[in-house]
Amino acid sequence: MDRGDVSCTNEDVLARAQRVVSAATRDGRTVGTAESCTGGLVSGALTAIPGSSLAVRGGIVSYAISVKHEVLGVEGAILDEPSIGAVSRECAEQMAAGARRVLRADVAIATTGIAGPGGAEPGKPVGTVWFGVASSRGERSERHVFSGDRGTVRRKAVYVALGLLCDELLKS
């Protein structure tokens, strides 16, 4: 699925984080994160919420390709293939599945993308972020292309990631 841009404030991000923590703790479920372009901001937003220790298993910042492969189990063939690579549906889904497995979480979210200002690739402009979600229902992904500077792209990515995490908690 390819989605467009969003608008959000830091308060919006924290409100979404609160909804994730509430949904998870209400049902006795746990969440985990695997983050590349957001560099731990999703996990940081979740753990900013009082009581989050009941729901958050942990987070893995997999900025380096080697961490995506060695820790999260993303296939080397995906990472090495120029037409796929780290900013892809396949990578996002495998990152989420790896985080769920490593952290033993009920639901995991992954982010991988190009926050900018450089790094654009053919078919992957600055602002491209892939999100992967893994749960007992399997893996799914979404692609968004955000506008703005590096900080804005990352904030928007956190906002979307928290929304996807909450949606999955409510569905699974």
Q: Looking at residue 3, what is its pLDDT?
A: 65
Q: Looking at residue 88, what is its pLDDT?
A: 98
Cα–Cα distance between 109 and 34 in angstroms, integer?
6
pLDDT confidence of 56, banded at 50, 70, 90? very high
pLDDT confidence of 62, banded at 50, 70, 90? very high
Q: Looking at residue 4, what is its pLDDT?
A: 67
Task: Give start and end residues of each alpha helix (H) in 27-149.
Answer: 41-47, 65-70, 76-80, 89-103
Contact status, residue 155 vs residue 10, Cβ threshold 8 Å: yes
High-pLDDT (> 90) share of the chain, %: 94
Residues 6+ apart with CB under 8 A from 101: 73
Query: What's the pTM?
Result: 0.96
pLDDT digits (tens, 9 = 90+) for 101-132: 999 999 999 999 999 999 999 999 999 999 99
Q: Looking at residue 6, what is its pLDDT?
A: 84
Neighbour tally for 41: CB within 10 Å: 22
> Which among 6, 28, 8, 27 is positioned nearest to 16, based on CA atoms?
8
Instruction: Domains for the chain: give ranges and CATH numbers.
Output: 10-170 (3.90.950.20)
Assess whether pLDDT exceeds 70 at residue 136: yes
Amino acid making up residue 60: I
Contact status, residue 114 vs residue 123, Cβ threshold 8 Å: no
| Cα end-to-end span (Å), the chain | 19
DSSP-derived secondary structure letter, 113: E
pLDDT confidence of 5, banded at 50, 70, 90? confident
Q: Looking at residue 172, what is its pLDDT?
A: 78
Residues 6+ apart with CB under 8 A from 93: 110, 132, 134, 139, 140, 141
Cα–Cα distance between 54 and 50 in angstroms, integer?
10
pLDDT digits (tens, 9 = 90+) for 25-35: 999 999 999 99
3-state secondary structure of 14: helix
